[in-house]
């Protein structure tokens, strides 16, 4: 008997495979061979393993900004801790400023030559107006003052050690360097540099990836020494910072870390206002007013001041400096500390920056903290600039300015959304420190997911990312499309926003709202965030944690959504309507029904609607041999009685797009009421191309819809209904418009 059952099952399985329109793709196979394997460093549960380790780098930096020449020069001492089990004969240091050199190995221009090209675009292409850029490394010395040999390869510098740095040991060395600060308007994707204001002959300096920094050395890759090519961002080690910044005496500095010498760099009034702001939990307090900032613009001090900052357990350090800045601040209370939410902006940002910036910082801090873990740092700063949104620990540079004091609602939404997003990056990747150079989606996608929750809770009228948002992209040209699991610099620039921001966000929204459920998913997402704060997670750590903390098999979802370019397109291929009567049926009524059905279906053609009425079927008695060795019998008269006169619908659904998803079926009844049935994605296990399911309804159905609430980014809603929708739906109009 056992062999007969095996043969039967094998035959059914083979028939299912043969019935598929596509070859077997193993959509429900585990993804274990597609991500880093678990080991003692990273456990199979997705948590850091018992032997997990990561390197550390502490910095002491003294830097001077020279305004007349737009140069910056510094001296730094790095103390590097080799916590790995490996002896290191050399170190890699990042020199991102070298990307600004002419002829650097970046990904090239984003413009083509064409008739009528603008002068700025031509400058991007040719750099006809050249300018100095890139580091001058003045020295590298050990603690005894002896020179250390180094080799520079574009944006990476190899430091050659006389003796290997052994596992468990640390070393200190110093670097002297300088570079010309570049004009931000000269570059696409410019994340730092200066912005010049001709009207008052002043400058705002955004100083980022400015000092030579240790590259990451980890358990899965060794040295992360991929070249910086602008699009892929940063991979950095945590450490403590002591930074002395010398600038013109009339400049204000916004910076990572906590100011150590306020009495030396702030006026008495500014100190008093800052102290007042520390207990202002309901509104920002102006530390520097518009009148003071405008007055400050009129003269340029030739004297210098040194601002001293300390930052604990951060992976980077950045600052902004200008005499143009206004400054406001508001306190945000957490369970065991208070954070100062701050904004710095020139008068060109008024009035919206005064009204909205710090408020947006506060909203982001509160929602992200509730969704993940409490913000741990003493400050969170938003600095106004042009054409950018860029994040660093405790500080972000955010675009959005009014024109002549006015700003459209759409522009204001964009500005506020940018601030929320960039402040949110303090969690992803500044604390949950994923490798941005390799996996942009791990910081941008996860951050955008919580960013969208912040907008939904605090700015419900704003436009937001939903499954609808990603449909135009996912229904695009597959020949140029990349999976989400593509390294940052290998993505087409025209698609990286959709693929690294929107698509991961929508995927997490699907998991939360439609696959796992909010409560369970939120707990699992928090688990991931808390497991990996101040650590370096990989994609496999996220995937494993979400499964570990939900008890839901999600490999099918990760495989399809993250590793392929398949899209969701479910077709409601057919709906058959049946009614069951007792075994002894009135022959005249049965004949009439069969005649109506044949006429309605044009002699065997598939019905287009329900107008032909139901097909009447009888339920015959089960032969004894069908029960096998079972002696008990089903109460067959009762079964027929329960089904008698009810409406039975057999639904056929085809997987056209290739991506398996749960199935949501909406029934519209003749009396105008509706009902929803939900099927898990596992219904596709035996046949990934087509499924049939049977439903029993008391009421007569007039229409059936798939995915009525657009939960799964279905790219073609015209094939989701029975009877078929001839007129374009609102969704398809939205798709064409966008």
What local confidence, expressed as pLDDT, does residue 25 receive? 54
User: pLDDT tier at 726 (50, 70, 90 boundaries)?
Assistant: low
- What would the pLDDT profile of 360-386 be if each residue is shown by its tens digit? 999 999 999 999 999 999 999 999 999
What local confidence, expressed as pLDDT, does residue 188 receive? 74
* Average pLDDT across the chain, whole number: 91
What local confidence, expressed as pLDDT, does residue 109 receive? 52
User: pLDDT tier at 5 (50, 70, 90 boundaries)?
Assistant: very low
User: pLDDT tier at 488 (50, 70, 90 boundaries)?
Assistant: confident
Yes or no: say if 154 and 97 are a contact pair by the CB < 8 Å rule.
Answer: no
What pairing do the DSSP bridges indicate for beta strands 285-288 and 326-333?
antiparallel
Handedness of CA 134, 137, 143, 147 (dihedral sign): positive
Q: Which residue has the higher pLDDT, 337 or 188?
A: 337
- Percentage of the chain beyond pLDDT 70 is 91
DSSP 8: H
User: Beta-strand (E) ranges in 82-238?
Assistant: 88-94, 136-142, 150-153, 156-165, 170-180, 193-197, 202-207, 213-214, 217-218, 222-223
Count Cβ atoms below 10 Å from residue 659 Cβ, excluding itself: 27
At 539 the three-state DSSP class reads helix
Yes or no: say if 331 and 366 are a contact pair by the CB < 8 Å rule.
Answer: no
What pairing do the DSSP bridges indicate for beta strands 71-81 and 252-255?
unpaired
Instruction: Indicate yes or no: pTM above 0.85.
Output: yes
What local confidence, expressed as pLDDT, does residue 112 receive? 74
pLDDT at 709 over 90: yes
What separation, in Å, do the N-terminal and C-terminal C-alpha atoms of the chain show? Answer: 59
Yes or no: say if 719 and 656 are a contact pair by the CB < 8 Å rule.
Answer: yes
What local confidence, expressed as pLDDT, does residue 10 receive? 41
DSSP 535: B
What local confidence, expressed as pLDDT, does residue 38 receive? 95
Mean per-residue pLDDT, 11-38: 67
Instruction: Name residue 552's beta-bridge partners.
Output: none
- What would the pLDDT profile of 522-552 be if each residue is shown by its tens digit? 999 999 999 999 999 999 999 999 999 999 9
pLDDT at 602 over 70: no
To the nearest 5 percent, what fractions of the chain are helix, strand and coil? 30, 30, 40
Q: Out of 102-106, 207-211, 349-353, 356-360, pick the least confident.
A: 102-106
Mean per-residue pLDDT, 663-669: 98
- Domain positions in the chain are 53-180, 570-737
Instruction: Give the DSSP H/E element, type plus range, for residue 650.
Output: strand 647-655
What local confidence, expressed as pLDDT, does residue 13 receive? 43
Question: How far are the Cα atoms of 11, 411, 599, 655, 691 from residue 16, in angstroms, in the given order?
Answer: 9, 53, 32, 14, 10
d(CA 86, CA 53): 11
Among the CATH numbers 3.30.70, 2.40.100, 2.60.40, 3.40.50, which is that of 53-180?
A: 2.60.40
What local confidence, expressed as pLDDT, does residue 603 receive? 43
Q: Out of 19-23, 442-446, 668-672, pick the least confident.
A: 19-23
User: pLDDT tier at 735 (50, 70, 90 boundaries)?
Assistant: low
pLDDT at 720 over 50: yes
What local confidence, expressed as pLDDT, does residue 582 receive? 59
- What would the pLDDT profile of 83-138 be if each residue is shown by its tens digit? 999 999 999 999 999 999 987 766 455 567 888 888 888 888 888 888 999 999 99
Cis peptide bond upstream of 467, omega within 30:
no
- What would the pLDDT profile of 606-647 be if each residue is shown by its tens digit? 788 999 999 998 888 899 999 998 999 999 989 988 998 899
What local confidence, expressed as pLDDT, does residue 732 receive? 57
pLDDT at 690 over 60: yes
- What would the pLDDT profile of 586-597 be if each residue is shown by its tens digit? 444 544 554 444
Q: Out of 171-180, 237-246, 591-600, 656-665, pick the least confident.
A: 591-600
């Amino acid at each position: 008997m056992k062999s007969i059952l095996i043969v039967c099952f094998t035959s059914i399985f083979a028939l299912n495979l043969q019935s598929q329109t596509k070859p077997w793709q193993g959509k429900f196979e585990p993804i274990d061979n597609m991500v880093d394997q678990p080991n003692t460093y990273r456990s199979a549960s997705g948590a850091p393993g018992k032997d997990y380790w990561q390197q550390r780098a502490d910095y002491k930096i003294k830097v001077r900004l020279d305004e007349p020449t737009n140069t910056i020069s510094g001296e730094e001492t790095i103390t590097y801790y080799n916590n790995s089990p490996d002896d290191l004969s050399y170190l890699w240091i990042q020199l991102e400023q070298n990307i600004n050199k002419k002829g650097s190995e970046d990904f090239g221009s984003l413009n083509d030559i064409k008739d009528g090209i603008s002068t700025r675009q031509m400058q991007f292409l040719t750099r006809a107006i050249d300018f100095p850029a890139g580091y001058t490394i003045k020295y590298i010395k050990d603690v005894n003052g002896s020179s250390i040999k180094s080799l520079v390869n574009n944006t990476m510098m190899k430091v050659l050690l006389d003796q290997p740095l052994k596992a468990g040991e640390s070393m200190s060395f110093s670097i002297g360097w300088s570079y010309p600060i570049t004009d931000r308007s000269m570059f696409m994707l410019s994340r730092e540099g200066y912005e010049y204001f001709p009207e008052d002959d002043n400058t705002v300096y955004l100083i980022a990836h400015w000092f030579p920094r240790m590259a990451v050395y980890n358990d899965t890759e060794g040295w992360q020494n991929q070249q910086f090519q602008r699009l892929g961002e940063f991979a950095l080690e945590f450490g403590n910072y002591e930074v002395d910044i010398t600038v013109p005496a009339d400049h204000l500095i916004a910076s990572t870390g906590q100011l150590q010498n306020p009495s030396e760099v702030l006026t008495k009034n500014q100190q008093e206002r800052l102290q007042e702001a520390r207990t202002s939990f309901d509104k920002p307090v102006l530390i520097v007013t518009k009148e003071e900032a405008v007055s400050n613009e009129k003269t340029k001090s030739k004297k210098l001041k040194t601002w001293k900052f300390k930052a604990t357990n951060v992976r980077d350090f950045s600052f902004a400096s200008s005499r143009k800045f206004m400054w406001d601040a508001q306190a945000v209370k957490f369970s065991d500390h208070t954070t100062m939410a701050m904004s710095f902006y020139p008068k060109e940002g008024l009035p919206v920056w005064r009204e909205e910036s710090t408020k947006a910082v506060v909203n982001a801090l509160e929602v992200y903290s509730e969704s993940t873990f409490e913000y741990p740092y003493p400050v969170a700063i938003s600095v106004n600039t042009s054409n950018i949104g860029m994040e660093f620990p405790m500080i972000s540079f955010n675009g959005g300015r009014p024109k002549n004091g006015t700003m459209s609602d759409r522009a204001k939404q964009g500005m506020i959304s940018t601030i929320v997003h960039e402040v949110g990056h303090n969690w992803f990747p500044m604390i949950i420190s994923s490798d941005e150079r390799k996996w942009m989606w791990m910081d941008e996608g996860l951050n955008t997911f919580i960013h969208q929750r912040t907008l939904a809770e605090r700015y419900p009228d704003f436009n937001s990312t939903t499954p609808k948002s990603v449909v135009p992209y996912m229904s695009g040209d597959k020949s140029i499309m990349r999976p989400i699991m593509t390294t940052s610099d290998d993505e087409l620039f025209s698609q990286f926003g959709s693929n690294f921001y929107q698509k991961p966000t929508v995927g997490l929204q699907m998991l939360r709202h439609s696959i796992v459920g909010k409560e369970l998913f939120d707990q699992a997402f928090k688990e991931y965030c808390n497991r990996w704060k101040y650590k370096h997670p990989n994609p496999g750590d996220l995937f494993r944690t979400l499964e570990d903390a939900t008890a839901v098999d999600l490999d099918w979802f990760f495989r399809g959504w993250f590793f392929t370019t398949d899209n969701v397109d479910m077709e409601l291929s057919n709906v058959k309507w049946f009614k069951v009567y007792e075994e002894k049926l009135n022959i005249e009524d049965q004949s009439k029904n069969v005649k109506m059905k044949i006429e309605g279906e044009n002699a065997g053609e598939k019905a287009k609607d329900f107008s032909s009425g139901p097909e009447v079927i009888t339920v015959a008695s089960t032969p004894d041999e069908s029960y096998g060795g079972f002696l008990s019998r089903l109460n067959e008269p009762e079964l027929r009685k329960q089904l008698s006169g009810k409406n039975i619908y057999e639904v056929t659904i085809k997987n056209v797009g290739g991506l398996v998803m749960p199935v949501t079926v909406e029934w519209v009844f003749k009396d105008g009421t509706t009902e929803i049935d939900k099927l898990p994605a596992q219904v596709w296990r035996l046949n990934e191309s087509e499924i049939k399911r049977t439903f029993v309804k008391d009421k007569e159905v007039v229409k059936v819809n798939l995915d009525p609430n657009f939960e799964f980014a279905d790219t073609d809603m015209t094939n989701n209904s029975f009877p078929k929708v001839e007129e374009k739906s609102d969704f398809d109009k939205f798709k064409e418009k966008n």
